[in-house]
Amino acid sequence: MRATQDLYELGDAPEIGTAPKKMYASLIRRERYGQPVDAFRTEVVDVPPVGRGQVLVKVMAAGINYNNVWAALGSPLDVIAARQKAGATEDFHIGGSDLSGIVWAVGEDVRGVKLGDEVVVLANRWDEKAEDIRLGGDPTWSTSQRVWGYEENYGSFAQFAVVDDYMCHPKPARLSWAEAACYMATAATAYRQLFGWPPHTVRPGDPVLIWGGAGGLGCIAIQLVRHVGGIPVAVVSSEERGEFCLKLGAEGYIDRRKFGHWGRLPDTSDDEAMGRWLSGARAFGRAFWDVLGERRSPRIVLEHSGADTIPTSLYLCDNGGMVVLCGGTTGYNGDVDLRFLWMRQKRLQGSHVATAREAREVTRLIDQGIIDPCLSRTFDFDEIGLAHQLIHDNRHPAGNMAARVGDRG
């Protein structure tokens, strides 16, 4: 059903159950690829159609994530070109992989949500009829898996977003719209990294090393590890971020600016260079022991920083432990000294987003007040580019960020 007006101002909307023809969106075009602050611009576009099993959500607030820094840069994936190659006609990208909002219209065969429900969304989309899912596979491994609001268009940086019904979860009632919008992508991903890869799940007493402890993934990971009795040790690049981690429950923090062995591993046959690298990695290991107060290595290392840190992560990880990685912010060359991997029987595990169950479980912990979503700053709709620029420059405040969309209060 169509609304009486074609376009409504932000904060305004037609009657529930109806959708306008047009909407405001903070979007990216190929000709603007580059610095995020320039790549995003508010424009008016058509409201997308709602398909079978889908709902139209009136976006109240949108979460800011690293993935749309990559989308703005047009690298490592040109998201618009990739979709056009697959047959899409849109020449723009509406990013945004987190939202809080209200179910405003429903398509055929929608289950689990109804008009008026207040929801948050896990940005992991797959085809429930895909053969690999029908054969019992984890849907996050499906060849049909895509990240909504990054690989897929019509994300949350717009007045309305279209999502599949299974992507919706009840909004924690105690949270504001912005608090509810800021956490899912990082929280569900961190939850899967820490509890999704048995037997390497965090156990009471397990030391866990968390890169970027004050970042989006890190701030949730610290709390999750502490909640189950593990010992979270954060890595940061400022005292202020370190203090933030301590308040969240970190046992202590390591300031990475004090070390200089970052980057790719030297050639392992170059004894002198390897010696220099090893003394840096060992010093970092001693800093870890200092925080812990005993000579134990991390059973689990939560990785996402990538090329700069992966050699240290693998070196430091305990014998039989796991480095679990969901990103490669500093580069994709993950150098491994294979001797440490096989002789000490370590596991290097990739992890991507989360299942619906994992999203629901972490949302419950947030709903119960056990985990703080750590909303740091709420931007206005026209500042979505600025928010991504701050992440790109590593100048963003500690925690998770959001932007106001329909919520004008």
Ligand X SMILES: NC(=O)c1ccc[n+]([C@@H]2O[C@H](COP(=O)([O-])OP(=O)(O)OC[C@H]3O[C@@H](n4cnc5c(N)ncnc54)[C@H](OP(=O)(O)O)[C@@H]3O)[C@@H](O)[C@H]2O)c1
Beta bridge partners of 273: none
| Residue closest to ligand X, measured at CB | 215
What is the token pair recorded at 214?
A: 């004050």
> Angle 356-367/216-227 helices, nearest 10 degrees?
70
Phi and psi dihedrals of 360, rounded to 5? -70, -40
Provide, rounded to whole angstroms, the least separation between the CB of residue 247 and ligand X: 15
Residue in 327, 373, 385, 406 binding ligand X, rule: CB under 6 A: 327
Q: Based on CB atoms, which residue is closest to ligand X, 216 or 321?
A: 216
Beta bridge partners of 303: 325
Provide, rounded to whole angstroms, the least separation between the CB of residue 385 and ligand X: 16
What is the token pair recorded at 253?
A: 């923090």
Binding track, positions 140-179, relative to ligand X; x by CB under 6 A: ----------------------------------------
Could you give the 3-state DSSP secondary structure of residue 70?
A: helix
> Residue 241 interacts with ligand X (CB under 6 A)?
yes
> Residue 125 interacts with ligand X (CB under 6 A)?
no
Phi and psi dihedrals of 114, rounded to 5? -140, 170
How far the first Cα of the chain sits from its last, in Å, is: 28
Binding track, positions 180-209, relative to ligand X; x by CB under 6 A: -----xx--x--------------------
> Residue 326 interacts with ligand X (CB under 6 A)?
yes
Provide, rounded to whole angstroms, the least separation between the CB of residue 167 and ligand X: 14
> Residue 237 interacts with ligand X (CB under 6 A)?
yes
Using CB under 6 A as the binding criterion, the count of chain residues that bind ligand X stands at 30
Q: Based on CB atoms, which residue is closest to ligand X, 42 or 330?
A: 330
> Residue 216 interacts with ligand X (CB under 6 A)?
yes
Residue in 74, 196, 215, 406 binding ligand X, rule: CB under 6 A: 215
Q: Which residue do the tokens 């109804």 mark?
A: 114
Sheet holding 207-210, edge to edge: 252-255, 231-236, 207-210, 300-303, 322-325, 347-350
The DSSP code sequence of 96-141 is -S-EEEEEEEE-TT--S--TT-EEEE--EE--TT-HHHHTT--GGG
CA atoms of 146 and 163, how far apart (whole Å): 12
Q: Based on CB atoms, which residue is closest to ligand X, 166 or 191?
A: 191
Provide, rounded to whole angstroms, the least separation between the CB of residue 306 and ligand X: 7
CA atoms of 77 and 381, how far apart (whole Å): 25
Q: Based on CB atoms, which residue is closest to ligand X, 84 or 237?
A: 237
- 286 contact partners, CB below 8 Å, separation of at least 6: none
> Residue 62 interacts with ligand X (CB under 6 A)?
no
> Residue 298 interacts with ligand X (CB under 6 A)?
no
Stretch that binds ligand X, among 133-141, 275-283, 321-329, 331-339 (CB under 6 A): 321-329
Stretch that binds ligand X, among 1-9, 23-31, 162-170, 235-243 (CB under 6 A): 235-243
Stretch that binds ligand X, among 15-23, 35-43, 60-68, 286-294 (CB under 6 A): 60-68
Is the alpha carbon torsion for 321, 324, 330, 335 positive or negative?
A: positive
Assess contact for 201 and 194: CB atoms under 8 A. yes
> Residue 349 interacts with ligand X (CB under 6 A)?
no
Q: State the pairing for strand pair 124-125/160-164.
A: unpaired
Residue in 68, 223, 305, 389 binding ligand X, rule: CB under 6 A: 305
Residues contributing to the site for ligand X (CB under 6 A): 65-67, 185-186, 189, 211-212, 214-218, 235-237, 241, 256, 304-305, 308-309, 326-327, 329-330, 352-353, 391, 394
